[in-house]
Structure 1
């Protein structure tokens, strides 16, 4: 299934970008040269597409096909425009519920979160263009297909999305252990967006500073944190409980 979302070769990647395909990541062999490579490099920079320069051995592990020094991951989903999505949800008169993932990097955590989001009525998931987990075959599998049912938006920076949501009358809270506020003591019935942080560092400090509120989950054991997909599930189902 993985190969369904990969393309190989310099010319093939150039054509895919020019055709408007959503490219999540490009792996390029270190030391690659030539006019066609220069054309690809310029195109990737112009389009803001992330590229990693790796040894040829890594490319050979990714695929046995004739990759010509370039392998690209294509997103299996089309991303939504954030402003249009928010406007449509607000106009629908449903109580908005959005999820922002700040630098979440594990594709399986991403898939599990998408699955829970679909089950709890989340109207859209917002990720950052660079540094975020891509939508891969593993994401699709872990989400049990929910990735095709929950709108996903990409933004240059999570802060941009936070400011836009706040300007649209949507309260933005962060799931973090850096607070004494329990999620169970916060009103989640109003228009809401929840920010979940990265697996290792949580929500970035620059994002934490601009949030409307912070909330944590009570932890009774010796381990000081939950897996991010598990924590996200707990937060979303508290929203469901309060709104029911």
Structure 2
């Protein structure tokens, strides 16, 4: 399944990395060797790019072209600098909503969240460089183009982003089932950042320890949790409701 956000071939990928392109992930054929490949490996390590070693069949499914054992996915957007974005938004005088996504991996969930975030006035989205869902053609499609309208930042560690937001006067609230507090008991009227967890494991315990507040959605059915994009939408619209 090819899309416009793929490049293939060792030299082409090396040039893309060196020219500063936003590489989301590199897929490398298992067992690949050679001097040029070693140069690519060093570049990937230097720039801390996500990498997966996969069977050649996986690469052949991604493209029919001569990929030379290596395919990279390029982000269709430019990522913003996190600290610069926070300063700019706070200095603008707006009452911001930030969204931190902890290890969200599904590109369609990511796209759906971006779409809702844009509709609810979210000021910026923060994801971690490693392990987060990439911005792909599916993300763009699911977001209905909202991915081009809202700042998205990549950071080394979400913990550092939480500390920075807190030091900047932003209240950080984790959406988690590991609390007795519902979101209707939390004030979202001041500058706020909402943390949403991954589809399977939720928010990392290390993050839960440092947030300012925790909140859950009341659940009445037999199924214990909502899809993360749906849950995120409920949280964001509670912010909107409180601020109107």
TM-score by length of 1: 0.99
Distance 1:50 1:179 in 2: 33
Distance 2:62 2:160 in 1: 34
The aligned counterpart of 1:115 is 115
The aligned counterpart of 2:128 is 128
User: Does the aligned pair in 2 maintain the 1:175–1:214 contact within 8 Å?
Assistant: yes
The aligned counterpart of 2:165 is 165
1:21 aligns with 2:21: yes
User: Does the aligned pair in 1 maintain the 2:2–2:63 contact within 8 Å?
Assistant: no
The aligned counterpart of 1:226 is 226
The alpha-carbon deviation at position 50 of structure 1 amounts to 1.3
The aligned counterpart of 1:34 is 34
1:46 aligns with 2:46: yes
Distance 2:7 2:77 in 1: 15
User: Does the aligned pair in 2 maintain the 1:2–1:136 contact within 8 Å?
Assistant: no
After superposition, the C-alpha distances for 1:156-176 in whole angstroms (9 at most, x for unaligned) are: 111111011001000000000
Distance 1:146 1:230 in 2: 17
Q: What is the correspondence of 1:85-124 to structure 2 with a 5 Å cutoff?
A: 85-124=85-124
Distance 2:53 2:201 in 1: 25
Distance 2:187 2:216 in 1: 13
User: Does the aligned pair in 1 maintain the 2:5–2:76 contact within 8 Å?
Assistant: yes
The aligned counterpart of 2:202 is 202
Distance 2:220 2:126 in 1: 31
Structure 1 unmatched ranges of 5 or more:
none
After superposition, the C-alpha distances for 1:91-128 in whole angstroms (9 at most, x for unaligned) are: 11110110000000000000000000000000000000
Structure 2 unmatched ranges of 5 or more:
none
Runs of 4+ in 1 over 2 A off after TM superposition: none
After superposition, the C-alpha distances for 1:153-208 in whole angstroms (9 at most, x for unaligned) are: 00011111101100100000000011111101111000100000000010010100
> May I ask how many residue pairs the two structures share in their alignment?
244
The aligned counterpart of 1:190 is 190
